[in-house]
């Protein structure tokens, strides 16, 4: 999930190429609502989104589905890294811009842990 359509489309195409079924939401509230209706193997979300920040979405999702792997992408990884603790519920943090190969590797890492 990302509020940038080009980022969403690139990630969607890569994941579909790798055999995943992909749903896209444009907000944190929409993502949470989707998770209440369907079961997901992985969530990829952006830190800065409308309505809720990515760490808020991750915390809400992990509270209900603690084993759900979550990758958060952000252009603001430096300020997030300055916190005392990583964002609650985030299994892997990626800084934008990133190569799709790096995202593919992150997906593999979090799914192996799951």
What are the chain's domains? 5-113 (3.40.50.2300)
Tens of each residue's pLDDT in the chain, 114 residues: 556 788 788 889 999 999 999 998 888 899 999 999 999 999 999 888 878 888 899 999 999 999 999 999 888 766 666 455 568 789 988 888 889 999 999 999 999 876
Euclidean distance between CA atoms 47 and 50, whole angstroms: 10
Q: Contact at 8 Å (CB) between 41 and 111?
A: yes
Euclidean distance between CA atoms 94 and 75, whole angstroms: 9
Output the pTM of the full model: 0.87
Backbone angles phi and psi of 11, in degrees to 5: -65, -45
């Amino acid at each position: 999930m990302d509020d940038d359509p080009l980022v969403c489309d690139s990630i969607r195409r890569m994941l579909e190429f790798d055999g995943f079924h992909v749903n896209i939401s444009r907000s944190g509230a929409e993502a949470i609502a989707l998770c209440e209706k369907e079961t997901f193997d992985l969530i990829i979300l952006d830190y800065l989104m409308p309505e809720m920040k990515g760490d808020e979405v991750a915390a809400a999702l992990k509270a209900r589905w603690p084993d759900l792997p979550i990758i958060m992408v952000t252009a603001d990884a430096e300020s997030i890294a300055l916190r005392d603790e990583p964002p609650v519920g985030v299994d892997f943090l990626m800084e934008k811009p990133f190569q799709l190969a790096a995202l593919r590797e992150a997906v593999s890492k979090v799914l192996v842990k799951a």
